[in-house]
Amino acid sequence: MKKTLLATGLAFAMALPFGATAADYVIDTKGAHASINFKVSHLGYSFIKGRFNDFSGDFTYDPANVGAAKVNVSVDTRSLDSNHAERDKHIRSADFIDAAKYSEATFKSTKVEDKGNGMLAISGDLNLHGVTKAIVIDAEFIGAGQDPWGGQRAGFVGTTRLELADFNITVMGPSSYVDMELHVEGIQK
């Protein structure tokens, strides 16, 4: 009887999804497995796409208690890259994001809501251009598990729309917003 209970207990433990408890992760920027991307209208005729090359962050995630998740990210706004040096210089200038004065943007979650089927609503405070505003990131849990090097990873993708005027950033042309696309892969600490 004891052997049967022990065998059943071990089989049950092994059947649980790996990483089914709360874990702390650091965002994998060194391996380039994460990105912070943007898309903004260019005069209403096309879109400019770009990214921020330098950022860091961490998160806590527990699939059994999604509401306890936490996210912290810091972005070096001077690393804005739209694949055009002169345009980047202009966007980084005081005409727009003023990266010399506001070189860091930060996001800190205040609430994570499980929407079902791996979908999440991540509410938090974004500090950008010297202004802090509450935003919501619509996110999707991609997966978690062991990597080929013996570590544990978890990945998400998310989107949000930022109204430029909310952050006192100049609006040029008919578009008043920038769409953000976030790809986050974390390595368990």
Average pLDDT of adjacent 10-residue blocks, the chain of 189 residues? 38 38 92 96 92 98 95 98 97 96 98 97 98 98 96 97 96 89 97
What is the pLDDT, as a whole number, of residue 3? 41
Angstrom distance (rounded) from CA 6 to CA 87: 65
3-class secondary-structure state, position 102: coil
What is the pLDDT, as a whole number, of residue 44? 86
101 Cβ partners below 8 Å, 6+ apart?
Answer: 94, 130
In this structure, the strands spanning 119-128 and 23-27 are: unpaired
Angstrom distance (rounded) from CA 155 to CA 145: 9
Cα 98 from chain centroid (whole Å): 22
DSSP letter, residue 97: T
Measured from the Cβ of residue 13, the count of other Cβ atoms closer than 10 Å reads 8
Angstrom distance (rounded) from CA 31 to CA 110: 28
What is the pLDDT, as a whole number, of residue 173? 77
Q: What is the pTM of this model?
A: 0.86
3-class secondary-structure state, position 185: strand
Residue type for 71, please? V
The helix or strand, by DSSP H or E, that contains position 60, with its residue range, turns out to be: strand 55-61
Question: Domain 20-188 is classified in which CATH homologous superfamily?
Answer: Lipid/polyisoprenoid-binding, YceI-like (2.40.128.110)
What is the pLDDT, as a whole number, of residue 35? 98
What tokens appear for 97 in the block?
């994001």
The domain segmentation of the chain, as residue ranges, is 20-188
What is the pLDDT, as a whole number, of residue 43? 87
Angstrom distance (rounded) from CA 122 to CA 136: 5
